[in-house]
Chain A
Amino acid sequence: MLACACASKALAAWWPGLGTRGWWFLALLGLAVSTVAVLLFLTRGRRPSDIAVASMVDVRLKLHDRLSTAMAVAGREDAFAAAALEDGVRVAKDRRLTESLGRALPVLWPRNSWVGPLLCVGAIAVWWFVPGVSPSVVKTVFASDPEVAAAEAAAQMQMEAVQQQIELSPELAKELGDMASNTGEESEPRNDPRTPEEIQRETARRMTDLSQKLDDVLSSERTQSLSAMRDALSKIEPGKSPEVKALAEALKMGDAAAAQEALAQMMEQIASESMDDAARKQMAADLERLAQQIADAADSNEALREALETAGMDGDLASNTEAVEAALAAAKNLNAEQKERLRKAIKSQKSANAKLRKLSRSCKSACSKCKNGGSKSKDGSPSSSSEDSDGEAGEDAEEVLDEMEADAELENAAKSLRSQCRSGQCQSPSGGGRGGRQGGTRGGAIAEGPQGDGTDAVAAEVEEKKSQMGSKRKGVIARQLVDAPPVVGESRTKLQEIASDIERGYEEGTEDDPVPPHLRDLHKHYFGDVKQRIDAKTGQTAPGKSKP
């Protein structure tokens, strides 16, 4: 019972969802009783028989075995057995027998029989008077370990830094959704004691999960569309007009913010009356050429073409997305992942083309406005139709550039955060609490102070970066904020998630093949197709395929 009481108290404290401690006590008490019953059942053969007990009474009371003989011959029918039975019954009914029985067979308790009741009293005392062990108390006791506390503080600091980084980019926070909130704090408090190594592994696992999601963001349709637009705009030629040239160069560099500024200046210049006709004609010609280049870039489908050629398909199919879809459906040398990647590239290309055409139309609209002399009416006031056209052109272009800027911000933030996550996986967060180098100048500032001050310093720095971003509308790339010793111990990352990386790294490190492992399939398909084409062209057959 004492063991039951202690066990039930521990179970009730550690697993309160299973019921009240009274229920547990009763259950364990029932278990104890059942155990005793089973033991009694198993030892029933050792209990002396009735005749043995009677024989013992006969011997102790010198009854000449009358009782035991009567019991033994009770089933017999001969006269002597009947006489023995009557004799035994007569002796058993004698009052003197019951009186002397107590003296002859006194009830003697076992020598250590007091131990049992004492244990029962102890069990009841433990059950009713000893307070239950609360998980929080145990957690506090375990948490009092300085190494565990330091590891938890470092992990919390790292997660807070990541959270701050996510909050810096609304687009990224929007893409990550509620995942961002989950990475900041633990989803639910854990009651079991943890070691510093377990805390580090848990942090590394969270970083790995976030990094994978960031990979998904960077390979999403938005970022690929942005990449396609950049590729398309990278080949445009700037005009002679300074305003158009600034716009074209900004577009060529993929700097959406600069392009917006240049667009605003150009539209202001167009609307102004100070520009002479020659300059206006030059600007109109440049805008017309720029619009044409953007339209041509949209039609070129360079990104899709490159993706198709990388996948070993005909790049000319990029001009016809329906043909690409049909080719993908018929392609047997591509796996599902490659096909999905190409379909995503098609969508991205379509999105990029739509934006480029929209931008091209804006440029054309600006060109026509420029040709019309800043949309001035004959009385010198701007016409309402021209004003509307000017407004549409500016709004469309600004809308495209806004989207482009948002996509760029998302891409930069995702890349930055992914870099931070990957660097955090390889470094122990516990190092921050020990004053180790945190990486860069920021890390040093964090490491100098106590843990709480370090967290505050990170928060203050992030706030500062937020304010800078808000004023200059520049994307802030948060660099490596946490530096710590490598995480050691058992990895919780699923093996199948990192198996391809392990295999690739092994092959790259052990083989001399100049072709990278991830391009070998493409290399094989490409040259395999070339060989088939050459064979078809020359009419030769491969030696292995020749018929006997």
Chain B
Amino acid sequence: MNTAEQLQSIRTSEDVRAASVEFRGAAQRLREEISRVLVGQEQTVTSVLVALFANGHVLLEGVPGLGKTLLVRTLGQALGLGFSRVQFTPDLMPADIIGTQIVMEDPRTGQREFTFRPGPLFTQILLADEINRASPKSQSALLEAMQERSITVGGMTHTLKQPFLVLATQNPIEQEGTYPLPEAQLDRFLIKVIVPPVEREALTEIVERTTGVPSAATEVKPVLTAEQIAWAQGLARLVVVAPHVQDYAVRLTLATQPGGAFSPPECEHLIAVGSSPRGAQAILSCAKVMALMGGRTAVSTQDIAAAALPALRHRVVRSFEAEAGGMTTDALVQQLIHATPAELQPAGEAA
């Protein structure tokens, strides 16, 4: 039974509850497997799993040494999917990522012809390390792959294997010689995860694990197959969203539009550019996964509010006034969430 048939077999509420339990179990197994290697960073791991089950890409931002690369590599190992890592540097070319046409000679006939040699992008989990260090030309090589899950080279379109997940990392410091991601590129990421510094207990365990004798317990085994991930992603799309809950996500997204009907007056002057409709899509996709991971079969406004910050923080451009005032994007989005009421609002009434 393939994934679609498995999803169609869910017909009763009991089936839904069983599927929900299975989903939570899969997520829990994946979390436990990652935690065997990665110490701490539970929230970061959860966010990455949410993006995985929501079939979206993740932009990880944090200072060096917090385990971003380790997290992605471990995730790739735990999923049993194809994994590639691309270290973005200023001299990285798009062909280095996508692949290139090379001339191949047939040994029997001696005839030469162009043959496409896939790049590291032809994988299922791509780690784009320090993505902001590559030139915009190279960064834009990811656009089609991230949005369409396909690559067009030499007039031929190559479909990527599913699931396809891009996990990019970037360093918020050392901005010299970097190329900040353009808005169009940022918009392709489902969520942006801020990797926090490790805490005391986590750091102690990290030190103990990495300075001692390596143990076999740190080896990661695949716990989910591609089919199971596809099933989980399909299940997440079936989660119910009530109209007023969906309206909350829409109002939150519209609240980021300066001068809009739902923009809070106190935030209007702090925003230069608001979120695109992809912001609302990202909120709802993440909220559905969060609801399933929370053991619920319907999205709540709490899920929406929780998904709003990672889904909107890279889609909102602060105004000069906000930047000059030292207001971070996270604080700005938090203010928007606080100013937008979660209760049902009459149609046409401003928040």
Interchain CB contact under 8 A, A49 and B297: no
* Chain B residues, CB < 8 A from A80: 16, 238-240, 297-298
Query: B109 contacts the other chain (Cβ, under 8 Å)?
Result: no
Interchain CB contact under 8 A, A73 and B344: no
* Chain A residues, CB < 8 A from B11: 79
Give Cα A55–Cα B300 distance, bound, in whole angstroms: 10
Pick from A55, A63, A78, A84: contact of B244, CB below 8 A: A55
Interchain CB contact under 8 A, B297 and A73: no
* Chain B residues, CB < 8 A from A48: 344
* Chain B residues, CB < 8 A from A225: none
* Chain B residues, CB < 8 A from A64: 291, 294, 296, 298, 300-303
How many inter-chain contacts with C-beta < 8 Å in the A-B complex?
91
Which of B243, B296, B343, B346 is most buried by chain A, counting CB atoms within 10 A of its CB? B343
- Of chain A, the residue at the smallest CB distance from B304 is A65
Give Cα A84–Cα B300 distance, bound, in whole angstroms: 11
Question: How many whole Å from B126's CB to the nearest CB in chain A?
Answer: 32
Question: How many whole Å from A421's CB to the nearest CB in chain B?
Answer: 77
Question: How many whole Å from B125's CB to the nearest CB in chain A?
Answer: 29
Interchain CB contact under 8 A, B13 and A86: yes
Interchain CB contact under 8 A, B242 and A73: yes
Question: How many whole Å from A513's CB to the nearest CB in chain B?
Answer: 82
Query: B17 contacts the other chain (Cβ, under 8 Å)?
Result: yes
Query: A51 contacts the other chain (Cβ, under 8 Å)?
Result: yes
Q: Majority SS of interface residues in chain A?
A: helix
Interchain CB contact under 8 A, A65 and B301: yes
In residues 291-333 of chain B, which contact A (Cβ within 8 Å)? 291, 294, 296-303
Query: B32 contacts the other chain (Cβ, under 8 Å)?
Result: no
Query: A29 contacts the other chain (Cβ, under 8 Å)?
Result: no
Interchain CB contact under 8 A, B13 and A65: no
Query: B4 contacts the other chain (Cβ, under 8 Å)?
Result: no
Give Cα A66–Cα B296 distance, bound, in whole angstroms: 9
* Chain A residues, CB < 8 A from B10: 79
- Of chain A, the residue at the smallest CB distance from B245 is A65
Query: A28 contacts the other chain (Cβ, under 8 Å)?
Result: no
* Chain B residues, CB < 8 A from A82: 12-13, 16
Pick from A49, A51, A65: contact of B298, CB below 8 A: A65
Give Cα A48–Cα B16 distance, bound, in whole angstroms: 32
In residues 23-58 of chain A, which contact B (Cβ within 8 Å)? 48-49, 51-52, 55-56, 58
* Chain B residues, CB < 8 A from A68: 242, 244-245, 344
What mask results when residues 62 to 85 of chain A are scored 1 for a CB within 8 Å of chain B, else 0? 111110110011001011111110
Interchain CB contact under 8 A, B297 and A87: yes
Interface size on B, residues (CB 8 A): 28
Interchain CB contact under 8 A, B298 and A84: yes
What mask results when residues 83 to 96 of chain A are scored 1 for a CB within 8 Å of chain B, else 0? 11011000000000
- Of chain A, the residue at the smallest CB distance from B297 is A83
Question: How many whole Å from B88's CB to the nearest CB in chain A?
Answer: 40
Which of B242, B244, B303 is most buried by chain A, counting CB atoms within 10 A of its CB? B242
Query: B205 contacts the other chain (Cβ, under 8 Å)?
Result: no
* Chain A residues, CB < 8 A from B302: 62, 64-65
Interchain CB contact under 8 A, A51 and B344: yes
Query: A3 contacts the other chain (Cβ, under 8 Å)?
Result: no
* Chain A residues, CB < 8 A from B13: 79, 82-83, 86
Question: How many whole Å from A224's CB to the nearest CB in chain B?
Answer: 90
Interface size on A, residues (CB 8 A): 27
Query: A59 contacts the other chain (Cβ, under 8 Å)?
Result: yes
Give Cα A59–Cα B305 distance, bound, in whole angstroms: 12
Query: B151 contacts the other chain (Cβ, under 8 Å)?
Result: no
Which of A55, A73, A79 is most buried by chain B, counting CB atoms within 10 A of its CB? A79
Interchain CB contact under 8 A, A83 and B16: yes
Q: Are A69 and B344 CB-contacts (below 8 A) given A83-B16, A87-B298?
A: no
Interchain CB contact under 8 A, A49 and B240: no
Give Cα A83–Cα B18 distance, bound, in whole angstroms: 11
Question: How many whole Å from B243's CB to the nearest CB in chain A?
Answer: 6
What mask results when residues 325 to 351 of chain B are scored 1 for a CB within 8 Å of chain A, else 0? 000000000000000001110100000
- Of chain B, the residue at the smallest CB distance from A63 is B300
- Of chain A, the residue at the smallest CB distance from B300 is A64
- Of chain A, the residue at the smallest CB distance from B10 is A79
* Chain B residues, CB < 8 A from A83: 13, 16-17, 240, 297-298
Query: B15 contacts the other chain (Cβ, under 8 Å)?
Result: yes
In residues 197-224 of chain A, which contact B (Cβ within 8 Å)? none
* Chain A residues, CB < 8 A from B242: 65, 68-69, 72-73, 84
Q: Are A58 and B300 CB-contacts (below 8 A) given A80-B240, A83-B16?
A: yes
* Chain B residues, CB < 8 A from A78: 238, 240
* Chain A residues, CB < 8 A from B297: 80, 83-84, 87
In residues 471-521 of chain A, which contact B (Cβ within 8 Å)? none
- Of chain B, the residue at the smallest CB distance from A73 is B240
Give Cα A68–Cα B298 distance, bound, in whole angstroms: 11
* Chain A residues, CB < 8 A from B244: 51-52, 55, 65, 68, 72
- Of chain B, the residue at the smallest CB distance from A60 is B343
* Chain A residues, CB < 8 A from B299: 65, 69
Interchain CB contact under 8 A, A56 and B343: yes
Interchain CB contact under 8 A, B342 and A66: no
* Chain B residues, CB < 8 A from A76: 240
Question: How many whole Å from A39's CB to the nearest CB in chain B?
Answer: 20
Question: How many whole Å from B21's CB to the nearest CB in chain A?
Answer: 12
- Of chain A, the residue at the smallest CB distance from B20 is A83
Interchain CB contact under 8 A, B238 and A55: no
Which of B12, B238, B245 is most buried by chain A, counting CB atoms within 10 A of its CB? B245
Interchain CB contact under 8 A, B240 and A65: no
Give Cα A82–Cα B298 distance, bound, in whole angstroms: 10
Give Cα A514–Cα B15 distance, bound, in whole angstroms: 122
Interchain CB contact under 8 A, A66 and B344: no
* Chain B residues, CB < 8 A from A56: 343-344
Pick from A49, A79, A86: contact of B15, CB below 8 A: A79
What mask results when residues 270 to 308 of chain B are scored 1 for a CB within 8 Å of chain A, else 0? 000000000000000000000100101111111100000
Interchain CB contact under 8 A, B343 and A81: no
Interchain CB contact under 8 A, A87 and B342: no
Question: How many whole Å from B68's CB to the nearest CB in chain A?
Answer: 31
Which of A55, A62, A63 is most buried by chain B, counting CB atoms within 10 A of its CB? A55
Give Cα A66–Cα B243 distance, bound, in whole angstroms: 13
Give Cα A56–Cα B296 distance, bound, in whole angstroms: 19
* Chain A residues, CB < 8 A from B16: 79-80, 82-83
Give Cα A55–Cα B244 distance, bound, in whole angstroms: 8
- Of chain B, the residue at the smallest CB distance from A76 is B240
Interchain CB contact under 8 A, A73 and B298: yes
- Of chain A, the residue at the smallest CB distance from B12 is A79
Question: How many whole Å from B134's CB to the nearest CB in chain A?
Answer: 42
Chain B contacts to A: CB under 8 angstroms = 10-13, 15-17, 238-240, 242-245, 291, 294, 296-303, 342-344, 346
Sample of 6 more A-B contacts, CB < 8 Å, known A49-B344, A78-B238, A83-B13: A55-B301, A55-B342, A68-B244, A80-B240, A81-B240, A83-B17
Q: Which 9 A-B pairs have the closest CB atoms?
A: A64-B300, A83-B13, A72-B242, A69-B242, A84-B298, A55-B344, A52-B344, A65-B300, A83-B16
Chain A contacts to B: CB under 8 angstroms = 48-49, 51-52, 55-56, 58-59, 62-66, 68-69, 72-73, 76, 78-84, 86-87
User: Can you list 10 contacts pairing A with B, beta carbon distance less than 8 Å?
Assistant: A51-B344, A56-B344, A65-B300, A73-B242, A79-B10, A79-B15, A79-B16, A79-B238, A80-B297, A87-B298
